[in-house]
Amino acid sequence: MASGREIKTKIKSTQNMRKVTRALEMVSASKIRKAQDMMKASRPYARSMRKVIAHVAQASTDFSHPFLAERETVKRVGYLVITTDRGLCGGLNSNLFRRLLPAIREWQGKGVEVDVIAIGQKAIQFFRRLKGVNLIGSASHLGEKPKLESLVGVIKVALDAYTDGKLDRVFLAHNDFVNTMTQKPAVHALLPLPVVAEEMAEAQSASTLPDYPVAGLKLEQRHDWDYIYEPDPATVLEHVLSRYIESVVYQGVLENLASEHAARMVAMKSASDNASKVIGELTLIYNKARQAAITQEISEIVGGAAAV
d(CA 252, CA 186): 10
15-18: Cβ within 8 A, 24+ apart: 15/275, 15/279, 17/271, 17/275, 18/271, 18/272, 18/275, 18/276, 18/279
Whether residue 35 contacts residue 257, with contact meaning beta carbons closer than 8 Å, is answered with: yes
Q: What is the pLDDT of residue 80?
A: 92
- Which residues make Cβ contacts (< 8 Å) with residue 254, sequence separation at least 6? 35, 38, 39, 42, 146
Rg (CA), the chain: 28
Q: List the beta bridge partners of residue 174.
A: 186
Determine the Cα angle at 44 with ends 149 and 60, to 5°. 90
How many CB atoms sit inside 10 A of residue 128's CB? 12
d(CA 255, CA 102): 23
- Name the nearest CA neighbour of 150 among 77, 254, 238: 254
Q: What is the pLDDT of residue 219?
A: 47
Which of 1.25.40.10, 3.40.190.10, 3.40.1500.10, 1.10.287.80 is the CATH number of 4-25+268-301?
A: 1.10.287.80
Whether residue 183 contacts residue 262, with contact meaning beta carbons closer than 8 Å, is answered with: yes
d(CA 43, CA 139): 23
Strand 76-82 relative to strand 133-139: parallel, antiparallel, unpaired? unpaired
The end-to-end CA distance of the chain, in Å, is 32
d(CA 32, CA 301): 61
**Catalytically annotated residues:** 89
User: Which numeric CATH code is attached to 31-262?
Assistant: 3.40.1380.10
CA distances in angstroms from 179 to 206, 251, 260, listed in the order given:
19, 16, 12
- Which residues make Cβ contacts (< 8 Å) with residue 20, sequence separation at least 6? none
Instruction: Spell out the domain ranges in the chain.
Output: 4-25+268-301, 31-262
Q: Per residue of the chain (308 residues), what is the pLDDT tens digit?
A: 567 778 888 888 888 888 888 888 888 888 888 888 888 888 788 777 776 776 666 665 666 777 877 788 888 999 999 999 888 888 889 999 999 999 899 888 888 899 999 999 999 999 988 888 888 888 888 888 888 888 888 888 888 888 888 888 899 999 988 887 888 888 888 888 777 766 666 665 554 544 455 444 454 455 555 667 777 777 777 788 888 888 888 988 998 998 888 888 888 888 888 888 888 888 888 888 788 778 877 877 777 777 76
Q: What is the pLDDT of residue 215?
A: 47
Q: What is the pLDDT of residue 1?
A: 52
Sequence letter at residue 259: S
Q: Is the pTM of this model over 0.85?
A: no
- Which residues make Cβ contacts (< 8 Å) with residue 142, sequence separation at least 6? 85, 119, 120, 150, 151, 253
Q: What is the pLDDT of residue 210?
A: 47
